[in-house]
A and B are shown apart, each in its own frame.
Chain A
Amino acid sequence: MSGLRILVPVKRVIDYAVKPRVNKAGTAVETQGVKHSMNPFDELSIEEAVRLRERKKPVEDILAFSAGPAKSQDILRTAMAMGADRALHVVEEKAELEPLGVAKILKQVVEDEKRNLVILGKQSIDDDANQTGQMLAGLLNWPQATQASKVDVDGENVTVTREVDGGVETLKTKLPMVITTDLRLNEPRYASLPNIMKAKKKPLEKKKLEDYGVGAEKRLKTVKVAEPAPRQGGGKVEDVDGMIKKLKELGAL
């Protein structure tokens, strides 16, 4: 069997610890001057790809991918510092790409780069869509295992445990396939300083949307973005009796 040729798409998003603010015009979330990082689920994807290699699975190479503004390079470098061998960046400054568009680009990357395993995060924490991996699997007509909490590769056979409502289920399928990662899959490593330095020398190829025949226009038009209705805390009570009394007043007991 030939080895695993892994593709790991990563996305640059507002850091998970930052509380996002809606802009004044109500058209988007303010991104200027806000700390950005790699989408947390994508860190899990890179980590899993690197661990496959460390578990002595025949990994030929790990290609990190991102589509977005020039700054997305930073997270591609992070991915390479964590262990990806090289990176591909589809540079697009203005357009916000939708999952279907990204899936179409990824399909072509898979074909161009002869990938046989794609590991994506289950969702990005900005649009919370949870679609790209499944869409890619559909476009490629490959098997999919979403929300993976355990991955075992044995030759062509892949066994994945996935998180479902109420517990976990285990699936068995064959390469090539698409996996999306869930929180319990692993604990991503920190990139060490020497690895960060080494990552600067790893190859990073740049392409454009046009190279993939994918347009920048959105299928979903934003009508507005609003702050959620604020929730007012009802204040504190002194003791347990106070809590029971208040809960009864509120009709919750």
Chain B
Amino acid sequence: MVVLIRNSLLRHATTCLRQNAPTPLPRLPRNAAIKRLLSTLAILEQREGKLNVGSLASISAAQKLGGSIHGFVAGSNGKTVAEEAAKVEGLEKVIYVDNADYDKGLPENYAPLLVENIKKGGYTHVLAGHSAFGKNLMPRVSALLDVQQISDITDIEGEDTFVRPIYAGNAILTVKSEDSPKVVTVRGTAFPAAVVEGGKAAVEEGVDPKAECPTQWVSEDLAKSDRPDLATAEKVVSGGRGLKSKEEFDRVIPPLADALGAAIGASRAAVDSGFADNSLQVGQTGKNVAPQLYLCAGISGAIQHLAGMKDSKVIAAINKDADAPIFQVADVGLVGDLFEKVPELTEKLKSA
């Protein structure tokens, strides 16, 4: 049936075109023509009625794509957050849905909400951060739209061509998608954060299908920290198995992080041994970081760990094993006992 309709529509369109054939179409360069037709919906995150600035990488990625960019936000203070997001440079419009049911970003009702708004807007691209929120939600959206999502992109080569790491960053895959819309999650550290000023986007209410949510959000337990956020910090100090215990980790690593104004990270070995909280794990299965400085102590440099930090500008490593793989990627390596070297470094940085 669908095929029949499509064929008859095609036939109709062809006939119309033939009749109109003498009218020459304006000849735009191919690129410009495509860019004009691109329209991206960037999914923004909010937390307790505040815009999550970490989720703005999808806007920067959309800018690289070209075309018009709309933002999307949903939650109990949808409009307020949308007004804040409207200041982000490069946004044409922010679509909001004001409904407390979307506060926790549960995909059971958030996915149908997005699908409705994507269909209504006729977007060619839908972008979200590859964060816990984006990872949880976007594949569900993709399945409902019957498109194959492209996860965790680090670059855009064209409107249909994307670059992403596979095998824990040991290979870089370039893929071309023929799906429409293209649903993409974006690695935050691979795109500059969009600036929240200067923009004057329109704010518009979106559609709310009010899908039922069978899942109930019970509670959360977030590691409290006054330090910069690991994923976006300029500097990261990271500790591994070499710290030997939680007590030693807490004695050695935080003072150095404080001296540098750095976030604290950890290897999987350190997390599994209970030295540090899960949320601090850097690597393939933890967070990806790309700070100006990644300073690590007692980390050997397994491929799964390197996957999460090898895009750092400068890597410095302290390890007592001169043959540790971390030294193959470190810009500055120091072979020595971290229990001596790290406190010494901390003291010298403080007095400098």
Q: Interface residues of B, CB < 8 Å — how many?
A: 92
> Is residue B165 contacting chain A, with contact meaning CB distance below 8 A?
yes
Q: Is the CB of A167 within 8 A of B221?
A: yes
Contacts of B136 in A (CB 8 A): 134, 144, 146-147
Which B87-141 residues have a C-beta within 8 angstroms of A?
A: 104, 106-108, 111, 131-133, 135-141
Contact of A226 among B172, B231, B328 (CB under 8 A): B172
**Which residues of chain B are within 8 angstroms of A164 by Cβ–Cβ distance?**
132-133, 220
Whether the pair A135, B331 counts as a contact (CB closer than 8 A) is: no
Q: From residue 180 to 232 of chain B, which have CB atoms closer than 8 A to chain A? A: 214-223, 229, 231
Q: Which residue of B lies closest to A184 (CB)?
A: B278
Given contacts A130-B151, A228-B169, contact A171 B217 (CB under 8 A): yes
Q: Is B149 an interface residue (CB 8 A)?
A: yes
Interface residues of A in 119-169 (CB under 8 A from B): 122-123, 125-139, 143-147, 149, 159, 163-169
How many residue pairs, one in A and one in B, have C-beta atoms under 8 Å apart?
249
- Residues of chain B within 8 A (CB-CB) of A170 are 217-220
Given A99-B139, A225-B172, A239-B334, is A219 in contact with B177 using a C-beta cutoff of 8 Å?
yes
A234 touches B332 (CB 8 A): yes
Residues in A neighbouring B285, C-beta threshold 8 A: 122-123, 182-183
**Residue B341 interfacial (CB < 8 Å):** yes
| Assembly CA distance A219 to B175 (angstroms) | 10
Which of A138, A168, A236, A247 is close to B293, meaning CB atoms less than 8 Å apart? A247
What is the minimal beta-carbon distance from B119 to any residue of chain A, in angstroms? 15
Min CB distance, A182 to chain B, in Å? 8
Distance to closest chain A CB from B54 (angstroms): 8
Supposing A219-B178, A226-B172 touch, asked if A252 and B316 sit within 8 A by C-beta, the answer is yes
Does chain A have a CB within 8 A of B27? Answer: no
With A138-B111, A171-B215, A219-B148 already in contact, the answer to whether A29 and B167 are too (CB < 8 A) is yes
Residues of chain B lying within 8 A (CB to CB) of residue A184: 278
Residues on A close to B: CB < 8 A? 14, 16, 19-20, 22, 29, 98-100, 103, 122-123, 125-139, 143-147, 149, 159, 163-174, 182-184, 218-228, 231, 233-237, 239-244, 246-247, 250-253
Q: Please give the residue numbers on chain B whose beta carbons come within 8 Å of chain A beta carbons, in ascending order.
A: 104, 106-108, 111, 131-133, 135-144, 146-152, 157, 161, 164-179, 214-223, 229, 231, 235, 260, 268, 272, 277-279, 284-285, 287, 292-293, 303-304, 310, 313-316, 318, 322, 327-336, 341, 344-345, 348-349, 352
